[in-house]
Amino acid sequence: MNNHVAPRAAGKQVFITGAAGGLGAAMARMFARHGAKVFLTDIDADAVTAVADEINRELSDTVAWAATQDVRDEAAWIERLDQAAKAMGGLSVLVNNAGIGSLGSVEQIELKEWRRVMSINVESILLGCKHALPYLREAQPASIVNISSLAAFKVDPDYAAYNTSKAAVAMLTKSVAMDCTRQKIDVRCNSVHPAFVRTGIVAPFYDALGEEEATRKLTRGIPMRRLGEPDDVAYAVLYLASDESRYVTAAELVVDGGACAI
């Protein structure tokens, strides 16, 4: 009997945005432990470098690289993708993970803030997909994973821009996926929709309400009655990035403790 099981992401060359902490850093560790090379970017240069260094130390090998990138900047996308492909010997997976939260109802939110949310949460994904596709086409089978949210399906009127941006990510994902099938290229594109996970993005909520009340509020619409863990999301991304999901494209994968069912 052959007991050897190949690492799930062996040979994959993965570009992850927003990887300085939270979900992005968890994905980076997950991919590296499963045999991939990872190129990590974030607007926070020191923190993203620390994540890459920690991975290389843990695996006693150079499998992770880090660079600073503002995902709103088109020229930076072009530069970073080129740098990543040179470092890893190609690019077969793009994870568009960077994103921000924003509080405000339709009547409260300023246009400037609305545009900031759209540029970081939506336009960045357009730029990433557009400029990564030439590399992914060369690396078939390839995969794009866009991090959306439960907020794409469930409305909280206090987060008008965030909800709208995450719904846009789901449809942009399908547009990319169908463009690839039309071109008959094996580049899949799917979105992941997590419920709440304790990361930087929910920190303001904890600061405002305190530990117990924040957790109570965030878990009350979750049938499994707990927050998600970063690795709950990272496992979903690993599946969609790997060849295990080779027949899955234009899908919305919810990772939400059952929240969408109620």
Ligand X SMILES: NC(=O)c1ccc[n+]([C@@H]2O[C@H](COP(=O)([O-])OP(=O)(O)OC[C@H]3O[C@@H](n4cnc5c(N)ncnc54)[C@H](O)[C@@H]3O)[C@@H](O)[C@H]2O)c1
Cα atoms in the 13 Å half-sphere on the side-chain side of 257: 15
Tell me: does residue 99 bind ligand X (CB under 6 A).
yes
Select from 127, 136, 152, 197 the one that contacts ligand X (CB under 6 A). Answer: 197
Tell me: does residue 18 bind ligand X (CB under 6 A).
yes
Task: Give Rg (Cα) of the chain.
Answer: 18
Cα atoms in the 13 Å half-sphere on the side-chain side of 86: 6
Q: Rule CB under 6 A: which of 118-177 touch ligand X?
A: 120, 147, 149
Contact 199, 25 (CB under 8 A): no
Of 135, 162, 235, 239, which is the active-site residue?
A: 162
Order of strands across the sheet that contains 37-42: 64-68, 37-42, 13-16, 93-96, 142-147, 187-194, 252-255
Tell me: does residue 42 bind ligand X (CB under 6 A).
yes
Which residues lie across from 147 on neighbouring strands?
Answer: 192
Tell me: does residue 202 bind ligand X (CB under 6 A).
yes
Residue 159 among the catalytic residues: no
Stretch that binds ligand X, among 29-37, 129-137, 194-202, 244-252 (CB under 6 A): 194-202
Tell me: does residue 236 bind ligand X (CB under 6 A).
no
Tell me: does residue 72 bind ligand X (CB under 6 A).
yes
CA 65/CA 84 separation, integer angstroms: 8
Closest CA to 74 of 31, 119, 138, 116: 119
CA 84/CA 12 separation, integer angstroms: 12
Stretch that binds ligand X, among 3-11, 37-45, 87-95, 234-242 (CB under 6 A): 37-45
Tell me: does residue 70 bind ligand X (CB under 6 A).
yes
Tell me: does residue 102 bind ligand X (CB under 6 A).
no
Shortest Cβ 6–ligand X spacing (Å): 28
Which residues form the catalytic set?
A: 162
The footprint of ligand X (CB under 6 A) covers: 17-18, 20-24, 42-44, 69-72, 97-100, 120, 147, 149, 194, 196-197, 199-202
